[in-house]
Each structure stands twice: as C-alpha cells, then as structure tokens.
Amino acid sequence: MLQRILGAVLVIAGLAAIAFGVATATVLRESDTVVATARPVGDGTLVVTDPGVLDLVDSDVTVTASVPEGQEVTVVVGRDVDVLGWLEGDPYTRVTGLQDWDTLTTSEMLPEAPEGEEAEAAEGEEPEEVELPDPAGSDMWITELTATEEVSLRWNDRPGPWVLLAAGSGAAPVEEAEAAEGEEAPAEASDADAVAPTLELSWDREVGTPWLWPAVGLGGLLLLLGIVLLLLGRRKKKPGRGRRAGGGAAGAAAATPGTASSGPVGGSPAEPASPESPASPDAPASPFGSTTSAAAPVWTAPAAGAAAGAGWAATAGTSDTTVSAPVPAPADEGSTDGPEQGATGSSPEDPGESRTGTAPVPVAGRFSRRSTRLRRTRSAPEPAAEDGAQQDAAPASPSVPAEPPTTTTGSLPMLDGRPLTRRELRRREEERRADGQSGVGRAFRALTGQTPVVPPAPATPPAADDPPPISGRRAAAWRETWGFDATAARPDEQQDDHTDGRTR
Amino acid sequence: MTARNTRVARRTGAAVGLAAAAALLAGCAEELPTPVADEPFEGPVLTMEQETAVVQDVAGVLDKAAEENDPKALRSRVGGPALEVRKSQIKVAEERGDDSLVTQIPTDLRAAIIPTTETWPRVTYTITQPTENLEVPRMVAYQQESARDSYKLWSWVQLIPGTTMPNFADPEAIGSEEVAPDDDSLAVTPADAVARYADLVAKGTDDSEHADAFELPGESQDLVKRIQADARNVREAETFDTADGRYRLAFAARDDPLTVRTSDGGAVVMGVLDGNVRIDVEEGGTIPPLTETQSALLAGEDETNELYVEYTDQVALYVPPAGSEDPIRPLGYSHVAVAAANEIPKKRNTDREESEE
C-alpha cells in the first residue's frame, strides 16, 4: 500500500515536473523583448547614456526618444569622449543602467564649473538668453537622427564605449534655417519650452529555456520510478490474492469495466460491425482459428443450449458474467497456443488486460493495446452473430479472438483449476467491486488517470501440463455445475487443462 | 524492500521538491544586467567615412562661397589662415570676374591622416589627388577647435613636385598623434621650425643662418626659391636701379602651427608665414602691380612710387625626430597675396620680432 502511495506521489511529482518544464518554456517564459524607459531629471534638454548602457541586454538596441508635441528631438551616437566633451558646460540627464526591467536609472548632471552659467541654465528657460545645445550637425557622431516629436534609432553595438545623446531642440518649424546656421541654433522664443526627451530603449533578448529538458527529463524519470513502484506493489499483491481474487485491486478496478464496460463492448453492435468483416477473412489463415473453432464447439456445445453457443462475446455483452465467464474460458483453452491466445483474449480495456494479467492470461496478453482494441472491436460483432458459425469466424481471426470481454470473465472463474460456481462468481464479483471502489488502486487510478499497470509476466507460469487431477477436478466441477456427464467431457478437459495451465 | 523503497522514494520526492522550488525561484529572478563600459577608444577619432564627410562638406561650403562670391559663407567650415586666404581669393576672383586664381581643393583623397587626440583642438590632414587640370596634390589641414565646433579647413599647401611624403600611421586602425607646437621630441620644435623657415624665406639661402638645417628641393621651386626669385626679378630689372628702387621683404612665422607625428617619429608641421613686400622708387616714379592678384587687390587705386603687398603663406615642413641628422624638408607651400596698397603702411603683418632685410 505504502509503496503504491509512493508510486503515486512519484508519478504525480513526475508529471508536475514535466508540466513545470514545459511551462518554463511557454507560459512562464519571459518576454523576448526588454523595453526600458528613462525619464529625464533636472532642467537640461539633454539625455546621455553611460557607456555600456546601449548594449546592456543585447547588442542590437532600438532607441526611441520622444518630446512633447511640436518640438524637435535629435538622437546621436558617438564616442564617449566626444559626447562628454561636447556636453561640457550643459546640464544633462545621465542614464546609468537598469533599475528594473522596465525602468532605466537616471541622474542629473550639472556642469562642473558652477558659474553664472549654471544658474542661468538652472533657472533655465529665460527665453532669449538660453542657447539651446543642439548636437545635430557635429562631425563626431557616428549616427544622427532628427525628427519632430519622436525619433527612433537602431544601434548595433560595435566595440568601444559608445554612448547615445538625445537632445530636445525646441520648436521644430524652422528646421531648415537652423540646420544651415550650424550646430548652435539661435534660441527662439518657443525654444524656451524645450525639454529633455524621454528615452525608451528596447532590446531583443534571448530567453533560454534552461529548465525545459532537465525538468522534463527529471519528470520522466520520476514518472518511470513511480510506475515501477506501482507495478511492484501490484505484483507483490498478487501472490497473496491474485489467484483467488483474480487480480486484487487491479482486478477490482477492472471489475467496473468488467461488468459495465464489457457490456458496451459487446453491447454496441454498431461499433464492432465494421471490424468484423475483416476478421472473417483472416479466419482460414490462422492456425489458432482452426483450433479454436474446433475446440470451441466442443465447449460451447454444452452451453449452446444456454445461448452461450451464440458467442461468448454476446454473453459478455449481456453482462451476464456468470454465463460468459465459463464460455470464454473454454475458448481460450481451445486454442492450442496458449499465450498467443491469451494475448488475443486479453480484454479490450486496460482493466480487462490487467485482470487477465493477474489471472490466467499469459505474457502475450500484454501486447499492445491497439491490438487489444482491434480484437475487441472484432469480438463485438459476435454478439450480433447467432450461431456456431460465428464462433468459427470469431476465433478464426488469429489476432482477433473475439473473447476480449470474455477473457476477463474467463480468467475469473478459475479457482484451483476449476471453474467457479455461479455463486462463487457472484460473491467474488461483489468482493472485487467493493475492493475496487474503496481500494487505493482505485484512488491511484483516479489520481494518475492511469489504468492499473499490467504486472510483469505471470509470476509463476504454471507448467504447461497441469496435473490431470486438477483439470479433472475442474472438469468435474464444471460438469457438475452444468449437469453434464463426467465421462463425456473428459477429453476436452484435457485440452482445457492444457490451456488453463498456461493461461494461469 | 518496501521500507527501502519507501525511503528512497521519500528522498527522491524531497529532492524533486527542492529542485522544483529552486527552478521556480531561479526562473523568476533573472539578474538585472549592469552596464559594462568597453575598453576606452584607442586610435583615430574619426572614421574614414566621417573624414570624407568633413571633406565633402567643406568642399560644398567652399564652392558655395565661391559661386556666390560670399566670403561670409565660409565661416562655418573655414578658419585660420585658410579663411584669410580664401576670402582674398574670392575677392580677387570677384574683382577679376574670373576664379582661375582660386585654389581648387579636390575632394578625392590620396591619403588621410587622422588624429588620435581625445581633447580639443583636433587636427586632421588630407592629401588630395591632383586637380582636374593636373595641378599638384594639396595637403590640407582641418581643425576642430572645440567639441562643439565642426572641423574647419585650416590651411592647405600645394605639394612641391617630386617631394617624398613621410609615412603616417594607418588612419583607420591606429591614427596619428598630434604634437604640441613646443614639443621637444623633434629635432626642432614645430614653432621653431616654422620660424627658421620664415627666416630662410626672407633672407634666402645665402644669408640665413638656418640654411643648413633645411634641405630644399633641388630642381623644383619651393617658397624660398620662389620669393628670392621674385625679388631678383624686380631688383634686376633695368629700370629698377636707375629709379633708385628698393625691394624689401619680410616674413614672420605665426605661432601655433599644426603638427602631426609621422611613422618615423618625426612630424609634419603646417605653419603660416606672414610676409610682405615693400617696393618703392624715387619720387615721381610709379610701380605697376606685379601680378594680376596684386592689381585686383589694388582695385584700381592709382599707381604710386610705393607698392606694398601682404602675403599669407601656408607652408608644410617635415621635421625629423630628435637626434636625427636629417634636415628639415619643406613639403609644400601656398603663396597668396591677401592685401596690397599703393603706400607702405607703418603697421605691417610682420610686426613682431621681425626679421627684416
């Protein structure tokens, strides 16, 4: 029990880790772009980035400088020495780095020599007095852009401490004249409003997904571990209960489908219908088919009267477990090739599979689920079919064994090599159900969404040849149950034993 | 087995939990990068593109000023001696209605010499291709006086034919060092070199004490030969003696020449000489202007027995490094009259410790 809890925890943890890994690469993944804004401080009309700020996040940066409506803004990139030399004597806003991912840190820089000049600049905007520093037109810049209100500059970093200088150069209109007059535009009344531009730096950033694969890998590992633990738990359980209960918790879980689901399988004729046709052609080819068909009649014959002859699947469909149970079992037995048959016999649903696993179904019973389903679908038609003829058809298909549902039931009835009585079956069914409903196994299934794991090969595959006595006993029981003459059934029993032993 | 498994499982579970927590934390808190300034710039302060842009821009201004005969238009891109000379040339061109005497400065560069100076003023040289009518290449100096100034044409010289130019450092990778006018890593400080050259120009190789320090080009004409030849032509004119004529000339160097170091540790100095020529004859005689430029500068003033012409001469000298036995070599010059008068003024452009004949 504990083991299974642990297994479940591990499975959950594994899934969680995988989910986390995937999430880091999707939902939790950080944005591919970083956009940071620098707000100017102080009275200057200039904003300057420190060396290293332009390539802070990535070597490609897009700088957007904006000023209030109607004003002009200039952005230039130059060598740090040049820009600082150019700045001499003017207050400016210095951009020193990232404060957080959205904001750039800024600080106000005042001219070193606090002469009257500074006071003048600080008081700022005495219209006629102030000469706006305008970097436009200098020979020193590598790049220079001027525009009204907003200018956007792409800069691809190159070696060296490049810095960016942005300047609000006041009212825009007289652009031509200003340009012609050189870099120091004569102050105009409207220039008094000039303000430092707001900078917005945006980088593309490479966001790695460092956790994706580690997390997924770890999760997978945990998942695997959990599954193994669950398996071990199941397997351990089996010896104690497996034989009698036909699969303990797993069986219980399966039980639900066993009763209910087997119904749907066989019950819905529509579904099976199509698969059936392919099944029949296979029939002749398959060796099993022949054997089965040969054997099947023998077994079914007795049951025929009970309409079981029409098809085990059919009975399963009717959800009459008791009836169906015995029928399929023989069917299995009929096939000489125990394991293979078992595989085919394995029930469609996982539960069924598991059950077969615990009980008689041999290793082959754990073949791929798809084939199981295939079989199931094929088996389905049988219910519709009425006669022994069908029987031929059904078993005919080698892979098909229409028994899926039956297998489930088929495995159940065996107790000490003898079919269970109706009463026994019912009781066990109840047990199983109760068990399944309350059992941890069920809880697991709910948690993990996994069907019970198929246990490894039947723990102890019984010798191919079971001691006759057992089969004898079983046969006797069967005969007893069904009121047949003991001697008449004898030969078949041999066969039954054979398969039985194997399947078990 | 169960117990062990349990323990293992428990441990594993704990580990998983920790790992997940760590992952979450790590995912949330990516470190903010801090600015890291690259290595400081070394090398040229201008790229070749910028240099070319400067040259083009200057040429544009020169053209515009010449077309419009507007010397004021020069100011944004021309300064220093070049401005004086150019103004004069434009004025002369206007007077003559012909701009053939305006020095062309091609924009096709044969070489650029770009400085590494981080402070101001900064200077850059260029050497042009020959002009369209195959005049000799020019060596041109541009100066940026302060950080907020643009590079301005500061001076130019016509290279003396046959001159071998010294090598400069690679202008794109290394850049050239500027040398202060009083730098003593040279055989002679740049200022002294120009001053001595002025003396040589004024006095001629025979009379100047500095003649030995210079290696004048053998066949081609340099400024010294040119000035002396001009003087000789006048003095030796037949009527000049009979008219009791005097031909006096004076040259003086201006301070603060531009200097850029060459690969061999020497330097190329671009300096300016103020010069004037005073000619006078006996009373009653007249002296006609000797050149078209002079006549244009006189602008129709009456001829008198005196003639005064001022020159602003731009010169380029190669000065070898200190300790070298090599002589100073003139590389080029530009000899342009910038003023003329029909009387000799008391105050002249060479007024300082003037070396007069």
A237-292 per-position pLDDT tens digit: 665 554 444 444 444 444 444 443 443 443 344 444 444 444 444 444 444 434 34
B9 lies within 8 A of chain A by CB: yes
Distance from CA of B124 to the nearest CA of A (A): 12
Quick check: B38 and A161 CB within 8 A?
yes
Average pLDDT over residues A31-60: 85
Choose between B166 and A173: higher pLDDT.
Answer: B166
CA atoms within 13 A on the CB side of B260: 28
- Selecting from A9, A53, A139 the residue whose C-beta is nearest the C-beta of B13 gives A9
User: Which residue in chain B is spatially nearest to A160 when comparing CA positions?
Assistant: B38
Q: Tokens 């004076």, residue?
A: B250
Per CB-CB distance under 8 Å, the chain B contacts of A20 are 20, 23-24
User: Which residue in chain B is spatially nearest to A184 when comparing CA positions?
Assistant: B148
What span, in angstroms and rounded, lies between the C-alpha atoms of A502 and A461?
7
Residues 6+ apart with CB under 8 A from A350: A254, A369, A451, A452, A454
User: Which residue in chain A is spatially nearest to B54 when comparing CA positions?
Assistant: A139
A220 lies within 8 A of chain B by CB: no
What span, in angstroms and rounded, lies between the C-alpha atoms of A362 and A333?
12
| Cβ-contact A349, A254 below 8 angstroms | yes
A124 lies within 8 A of chain B by CB: no
Q: Tokens 């060092």, residue?
A: B177
* pLDDT for position B20: 59
Average pLDDT over residues A102-120: 67
Quick check: A24 and B27 CB within 8 A?
yes
* pLDDT for position A274: 41
Residue window 138-167, chain A: list those with CB within 8 Å of chain B.
138-140, 142, 159-162
User: Which residue in chain B is spatially nearest to A19 when comparing CA positions?
Assistant: B20
Per CB-CB distance under 8 Å, the chain A contacts of B22 are none
- State what percent of residues in chain A have pLDDT above 70: 42
A80 lies within 8 A of chain B by CB: yes
B120 lies within 8 A of chain A by CB: yes
Average pLDDT over residues A27-48: 83
A88 lies within 8 A of chain B by CB: yes
Q: Among A44-48, A172-176, A259-263, A377-381, whose mean pLDDT is lowest?
A: A259-263
Residue window 382-421, chain A: list those with CB within 8 Å of chain B.
none
pLDDT beyond 70 at A102: yes
For testing the chain B interface, which of A1, A2, A6 should be mutated: the one with the most B CBs within 10 Å? A6
* pLDDT for position A170: 74
| Residue range A452-493, pLDDT digits in tens | 444 445 445 444 454 445 556 777 777 767 766 545 444 444
- State what percent of residues in chain A have pLDDT above 90: 0
Rounded mean pLDDT of chain A?
A: 62
| Cβ-contact A149, A66 below 8 angstroms | yes
| Domain segments of chain A as ranges | 1-24+214-246, 33-204, 250-503
Quick check: A6 and B150 CB within 8 A?
no
Average pLDDT over residues A354-358: 44
* pLDDT for position B14: 62
Q: Tokens 């002469």, residue?
A: A115
| Cβ-contact A410, A502 below 8 angstroms | no
- Residue A172 pLDDT grade (very low, low, confident, very high; cuts 50, 70, 90): low
| Cβ-contact A40, A122 below 8 angstroms | no
Per CB-CB distance under 8 Å, the chain A contacts of B24 are 20
* pLDDT for position A211: 80
Which DSSP string corresponds to A104-138?
A: EEEEEE--SS-SHHHHHHHH---TTTPPPP--TT-
Distance from CA of B125 to the nearest CA of A (A): 15
Helix A248-256 crosses helix A440-448 at what angle (to 10 degrees)?
60
What span, in angstroms and rounded, lies between the C-alpha atoms of B245 and B279?
7
Choose between A281 and A141: higher pLDDT.
Answer: A141
Per DSSP, what are the bridge partners of residue A46? A167
Quick check: B41 and A79 CB within 8 A?
yes
What span, in angstroms and rounded, lies between the C-alpha atoms of A284 and A238?
38
Per CB-CB distance under 8 Å, the chain A contacts of B54 are 139
Element (H, E) at A153: strand A150-156
What span, in angstroms and rounded, lies between the C-alpha atoms of B81 and B288?
27
Per CB-CB distance under 8 Å, the chain A contacts of B46 are 139-140
Distance from CA of B39 to the nearest CA of A (A): 6
What pairing do the DSSP bridges indicate for beta strands A92-100 and A46-49? parallel
One-letter amino acid for residue A347 of the chain: S
Nearest to A350 by CA among A327, A331, A373, A330: A373
B212 lies within 8 A of chain A by CB: no
A82 lies within 8 A of chain B by CB: yes
Per CB-CB distance under 8 Å, the chain A contacts of B30 are 30
B21 lies within 8 A of chain A by CB: no
Structure tokens given for B110: 């044969």
Structure tokens given for B281: 């004859």
Choose between A311 and B313: higher pLDDT.
Answer: B313
* pLDDT for position B269: 94
A56 lies within 8 A of chain B by CB: yes
Average pLDDT over residues A425-433: 79
Distance from CA of A298 to the nearest CA of B (A): 47
Task: pLDDT tens for chain B, 357 residues: list them.
Answer: 455 555 655 666 666 666 656 555 555 456 778 888 778 888 888 889 999 999 999 999 999 988 888 888 898 899 999 999 999 999 888 888 888 888 889 999 999 999 898 888 999 999 999 888 888 999 999 999 988 889 999 999 999 988 889 999 888 888 898 998 888 899 999 999 999 999 999 988 888 888 888 988 877 788 888 888 888 888 888 788 888 888 998 999 998 899 999 999 999 999 999 999 999 888 888 888 888 888 888 877 888 888 999 999 999 999 999 988 889 999 999 999 999 988 888 888 887 754 444
Distance from CA of A163 to the nearest CA of B (A): 10
- Selecting from B27, B38, B50 the residue whose C-beta is nearest the C-beta of A52 gives B38
Element (H, E) at B157: strand B152-159
- Selecting from A2, A52, A139 the residue whose C-beta is nearest the C-beta of B150 gives A139
Number of A/B CB contacts below 8 angstroms equals: 125
What span, in angstroms and rounded, lies between the C-alpha atoms of B303 and B133?
34
pLDDT beyond 60 at A499: no
Q: How many helices (H) and strands (E) does chain A have?
A: 22, 12
Average pLDDT over residues A155-178: 73
* pLDDT for position A388: 43
Quick check: A24 and B30 CB within 8 A?
no
Per DSSP, what are the bridge partners of residue A35? A202
Choose between A218 and B20: higher pLDDT.
Answer: A218
| Cβ-contact A459, A239 below 8 angstroms | yes
Distance from CA of B331 to the nearest CA of A (A): 28
What span, in angstroms and rounded, lies between the C-alpha atoms of B314 and B330?
11
* pLDDT for position B241: 81
* pLDDT for position A435: 65
B40 lies within 8 A of chain A by CB: yes
B119 lies within 8 A of chain A by CB: yes
Distance from CA of B324 to the nearest CA of A (A): 35
Q: Among A142-151, A312-321, A436-445, B241-250, whose mean pLDDT is lowest?
A: A312-321
